[in-house]
A and B are shown apart, each in its own frame.
Chain A
């Protein structure tokens, strides 16, 4: 074997071992670090406040949540940066910028994406949704393959409650991407949706709708659509009992597309329009039988009139508005008060809500309405339904 200088042990050790490491460390490690420090322009409120530590240097709830996120290996399945390619901006929100992770030591960018990217999670879903999902992911995403984390929850009698660990973790998730929250909000929670109207229904719609319902909805709404699903312990307001209300398909489409901000109902705007209509059709069927009896109560003009008085005197008008037209000032409530023009409820359900209110919303028990007037109020609320607008729906 020939012997050259490059084959001497010391030469290899110094140049290949140390030299190439140093070159790589300086050029590809320190270089970008310096270049980042020089070019990064965080907004002032971000630059001044480390979200993970308080003034005393102790970990905040967000900081503790991040610790759990790392300890449980969440970052091995959830990335934390939105790339400017592959439609990611459209799916997750604005492309990530370097200052957004300036307090993350070590970084949690991640290299694999089994579940969704989480860097735009702030405000995308409610805390309730996150608790239910962490406790058992199948409770909000029936087809999820994510592990469950029951050890972050405490059992209180029959019901489950989040422990501090889960609360911290959710605080962290709700912090992620907070600086871009408004941009994401506009994308995920659109303020309006316009459709060309429900399509003609075929039997295939029903089958597709059923499949979609089982894939996306049964965790919260339950397999009987009665609002009692796996997630029930965590949801306030509870998931809607779909058998107690008649919802025109356009209205279901609207809720599916926009979600219901302030409740755990997320936006399903990622589904195709065709799928949304199929799902709307399927959900529509659950409450079909509510329509007849409800409209019958509305045919009693005297009862409707008395109900109207109860509605005004009982204070319902404040939130639900004159003649059921929710005033703009109340639209910012989360969730917003219901429009009675686009839905009919069963008498039993309405009476139940008059009595108990709707925990988790601003709907308190209707103490201003005497139980004797409940039937009249039901008649009045049913009369608000916009029969003209949904005539096609009724004729179908």
Chain B
């Protein structure tokens, strides 16, 4: 629809962006329902009985379905949509393979659905974050490669003279992740045994977050922040350092997911400083954000997208400061295997990257639909999500994790640690319900054709 409304000479692919975003939001709701159901399942002994005879509602399958949906359904769709929007804008060139990626946008949803169906039906592969079986892997990889070909091809053939930061991140994310995805679904899933497999699986898990979601998240911030506050990024040099330290150090830390496992000890030892080095990566982005925002903080009251960006950054500071400290062996002893890590992962993937995607969606929505969103419902979305996630999920689950770790240091029965966590798990289940309600407010806000967001000028860097 929107292609017709575009000014002449525009390189935008708004229809394509919209398909991925709408699909992503649908998956987000499903993924959250899965997560909430899991939260309910853990809330007490009785909660495993209700509908417990249906195998497709079994915790293990829902658990794999949840991560499958939020990673492949929500994050990949959302971040790909952003890339499809930003790449033509930043290169001044229309996307390559336009017709193919348009069809691909639908095919990809089918691929994710096939994977989800397989997991729910009880066909899984034992690799975390890519449990879908081989036929779904091939479909997902095929669709992903088409997106990569279009995005990377466009950048390489564009003759852009100075590549903006976001483009570096986009190149890194898509190239690295293609290799990473293929590696995990071939070598980790079918070749590498035991501890060798664990070392590689650690890389895969770590790099999916660190070299797909993180760089594309950073790309969103680097793109949107200057546009919204109408001033350039504070330090180009720092962004350069941030980028290269991310690309270099991040992929070297993956074995920290299997500290104290039978993976070689030298690997675990070198992973400590290599992981700790990530603290530099984080603070370059953070510094650039704060320096760019300087004097403009009042804007977060006014701009919903900027507010989600800003609070996402605060969560980013917390989660990315936690990360390097988790890599300290003394900390590992207590927090490994516990809910502390689950809280940390949700803070990153929900509190940071999903919020940056919310920011992008609110910001782009008027451009792809021609109408704004409802301010009131957007406010509800923000406040419900913030309070429910922060207080009822993150703090509760972090506390539960600390208690579990401390309980395990004693030699009391494991059941004691489970009973101790149950009130926090119940709280977490409630947070799930609230976050779903917040997300419904988000959808209502987008569908209400409000005025909010319409006044934003179409800025081009």
**Which listed residue (B41, B163, B175) contacts A17, Cβ 8 A?**
B175
Across-interface contacts of B198 in A (CB, < 8 A): 107, 109
B255 at the interface (CB under 8 A from A): yes
Contact B409 A87 (CB under 8 A): yes
Residues facing B in A1-58 (CB within 8 A) are 1-3, 6-10, 12-13, 15-18, 20-21, 23-25, 27-29, 31-33, 35-37, 39
A371 at the interface (CB under 8 A from B): no
The size class of the interface chain A forms with chain B is 35 or more
Chain A residue nearest in CB terms to B155: A9
* Interface of B toward A, CB cutoff 8 Å: 41-42, 44-45, 47-49, 52-53, 55, 58-61, 63-64, 122-128, 131, 152, 155-156, 158, 160-164, 167-168, 171-172, 174-176, 179-180, 183, 187-203, 205, 207, 211, 236, 240, 243-244, 247-248, 251-252, 254-255, 257-258, 260-264, 266-267, 271, 332-334, 336-338, 341-342, 405, 408-415, 418-419, 422
Nearest Cβ on chain B to A269's Cβ, whole angstroms: 10
A286 at the interface (CB under 8 A from B): no
Nearest Cβ on chain B to A31's Cβ, whole angstroms: 7
Across-interface contacts of A77 in B (CB, < 8 A): 59-60, 63
Nearest Cβ on chain A to B369's Cβ, whole angstroms: 32
Contact B419 A9 (CB under 8 A): no
Contact B190 A105 (CB under 8 A): yes
A216 to B45, CA, bound (A): 13
Across-interface contacts of B53 in A (CB, < 8 A): 148, 150-151
Nearest Cβ on chain A to B426's Cβ, whole angstroms: 11
Across-interface contacts of A149 in B (CB, < 8 A): 55, 58
A272 to B249, CA, bound (A): 46
* Interface of A toward B, CB cutoff 8 Å: 1-3, 6-10, 12-13, 15-18, 20-21, 23-25, 27-29, 31-33, 35-37, 39, 70-77, 79, 81, 83-88, 90-91, 96-109, 111-116, 137-138, 141-151, 215-216, 268, 270-272
Contact B414 A116 (CB under 8 A): yes
State the 8 A-B residue pairs at the shortest beta-carbon distance, nearest first: A73-B60, A17-B175, A101-B194, A24-B251, A113-B337, A83-B260, A98-B262, A33-B196
Contact A103 B193 (CB under 8 A): yes
**Which listed residue (B48, B63, B202) contacts A76, Cβ 8 A?**
B63
Contact A16 B189 (CB under 8 A): no
Contact B411 A9 (CB under 8 A): no
**Which listed residue (A73, A109, A145, A150) contacts B124, Cβ 8 A?**
A73
Contact A85 B333 (CB under 8 A): yes
Contact B172 A16 (CB under 8 A): yes
Chain B residue nearest in CB terms to A10: B156
Contact A1 B162 (CB under 8 A): yes
A2 to B175, CA, bound (A): 25
Indicate whether A20 sits within 8 Å of B52 (C-beta atoms), given known contacts A73-B63, A83-B260, A90-B411: no
Contact A272 B168 (CB under 8 A): no
Contact B262 A85 (CB under 8 A): no
A-B contact pairs, 26 of them (CB 8 A): A13-B175, A15-B247, A16-B172, A17-B174, A28-B252, A28-B271, A35-B264, A36-B195, A70-B125, A71-B124, A73-B61, A73-B131, A75-B126, A86-B405, A104-B194, A105-B192, A105-B197, A106-B127, A106-B189, A106-B201, A107-B195, A111-B205, A111-B341, A116-B414, A147-B59, A270-B414
Nearest Cβ on chain B to A69's Cβ, whole angstroms: 8
Contact B122 A72 (CB under 8 A): yes
Contact A32 B267 (CB under 8 A): yes
Chain A residue nearest in CB terms to B61: A73
Contact A106 B192 (CB under 8 A): yes
Across-interface contacts of B171 in A (CB, < 8 A): 9, 12-13, 16-17
A28 to B201, CA, bound (A): 10
Contact A96 B123 (CB under 8 A): no
- Of the candidates B193, B200, B262, the one having the most CB atoms from chain A within 10 angstroms of its own CB is B262
Across-interface contacts of B191 in A (CB, < 8 A): 105
- Of the candidates B179, B180, B183, B341, the one having the most CB atoms from chain A within 10 angstroms of its own CB is B179
Across-interface contacts of A150 in B (CB, < 8 A): 52-53
Indicate whether A107 sits within 8 Å of B162 (C-beta atoms), given known contacts A25-B203, A79-B337, A145-B42: no
Nearest Cβ on chain A to B66's Cβ, whole angstroms: 10
Across-interface contacts of B211 in A (CB, < 8 A): 20
Q: Add 19 more A-B contacts to A7-B168, A15-B247, A146-B59 (CB < 8 A).
A: A9-B160, A16-B171, A24-B251, A28-B251, A31-B267, A33-B199, A77-B63, A83-B260, A87-B410, A99-B194, A103-B194, A104-B194, A105-B191, A113-B337, A114-B42, A146-B48, A147-B52, A270-B411, A271-B412
